[in-house]
Amino acid sequence: MVEYRDIQIIKSFPIDWQQLRNKSVLITGSTGRLGLYIVEALSEANINWNLNIEIIAVARNEKKAKMLFKTTLELPFVNLLIQDITSPFDLDVPVDYIFHTAGLASPTDFTHTPVDTLWGHVKGTRNVLELARQKKSKKVLYVSTVEIYGNWDSEIAIKEDDMGPLNCDISRSSYPEAKRLCETMLASYKAQFGVDFVSIRMSHTIGPNISLTDGRAFAEFIRNVVEGKDIVLHSDGSAVRTYTYIADAIGAMFLALTKGDEEFYNLANTNNQISIRDLANLIASFSDKRKTEVKYSVKDKNKLVYLPFKLGLMNVSKISKLGWNPKVGIKEAFQWTTDFFIK
């Protein structure tokens, strides 16, 4: 389910929808929160402006896809393709544009299945790029991460051509190392085969349809509010993170695909920086009759392998030049997300 409010936020950005007229667009990870929004936004634009876009939504689980998309799958231009992207594609239809959003991306994955995390991204991205090469696709949009920058101690915001060190001798690096390799594959396929691409290096995204059990701190905080439990911090909570509301993020992705002439874009709502401690208190304030309190534990050890290095703040001047001006502040972003699970 995608909120009507969020579709309107996406449509408010100066996206060049005409670039997609009479084109075929394939979305991997279509049942994930990013893929779901992309499919729904494309469907809305297709109907509103009669764009004649053919949508191919790729998913592994047919039952989940039908549950999430509901009547969207009844639209004549929406095609559901059941496939694991770690297997090669075999399509006999054109594929003009690709949104590649699929891949394991949670602390639970990094902790319990780092090998699957690593190879899932690498194999999946190779298969997507092979498809783009065979179909002579116009552009592949790849969803990357701020984590590829590694450890960033400088107070200067990270630009797209910066890069910090990354420890390759720990399993937690399975995710950022995989993303780095996938970006190298993008550059290599462009150099050798002419496959055009744009990579979006994203900060944390927040919004409806997130998983509350994937080990992320903010997801755990929201789950505790939903269940009427206290939020327990296992550190002083001083670490600062940047959160982008999903509708703002999707708007930026469409801008980069249709108007961008750069290969890499940082994506973060730099107005939405908040410490873990302040975030815990903010989310606790959404609980009914203030049932949820924030408490500290100095004895408990984290059961999940959290990020072992300091994330830097990103410079977003490139994406801003395309007309991206995020609309949703930190309080609204988390209020709307929490409300989605409470209502």
Cβ-in-10-Å burial (0-12, 13-18, 19+) of 133 comes to middle
State the pLDDT at residue 111. Answer: 86
The span from the CA of 195 to the CA of 197, in Å, is 7
Q: CATH for 4-212+244-271+309-327?
A: 3.40.50.720
pTM: 0.93
The pLDDT assigned to 207 comes to: 96
- For residue 117, which of 104, 128, 106 has the smallest C-alpha distance? 104
What DSSP string describes 223-291? HHHHHT--EEESS----EEEEEEHHHHHHHHHHHHHH---SEEEE--TT-EEEHHHHHHHHHTTSGGG-
Q: Which secondary-structure segment (H or E) carries 295?
A: strand 294-296
Residue 286: what pLDDT? 94
Q: Quote the CA–CA distance of 275 and 92 in Å, as a whole number.
A: 49
Asked whether 315 and 159 are in contact (CB, 8 A), the reply is yes
Instruction: Give alpha helix (H) positions in the chain.
Output: 4-11, 33-49, 62-69, 107-112, 114-135, 174-193, 217-227, 246-259, 276-284, 317-320, 330-342
CA 310/CA 22 separation, integer angstroms: 44
Find out whether 23 and 55 touch, Cβ atoms under 8 Å: no
pLDDT tens across the length of the chain (343 residues): 799 999 999 999 999 999 999 999 999 999 999 999 999 999 999 999 999 999 999 999 999 999 999 899 999 999 999 999 999 999 999 999 999 999 988 888 888 999 999 999 999 999 999 999 999 999 999 999 999 998 887 788 999 999 988 888 899 899 999 999 999 999 999 999 999 999 999 999 999 999 998 888 999 999 999 999 999 998 878 888 899 999 999 999 999 999 999 999 999 999 999 999 999 999 999 998 778 999 988 655 454 444 444 566 899 999 999 999 999 999 999 999 999 998 7
Q: What is the pLDDT of residue 265?
A: 98
Considering only the C-alpha atoms of the chain, give the largest distance between any 2 of them, rounded to a whole number of Å.
Answer: 60
Rounded-to-integer distance, Cα 331 and Cα 207, Å: 12
Q: Is the dihedral of CA 259, 176, 27, 8 positive or negative?
A: negative
Residue carrying structure tokens 């972003």: 333
What pLDDT, on a 0 to 100 scale, did the predictor assign at position 309? Answer: 46
Determine the pLDDT at residue 12. 97
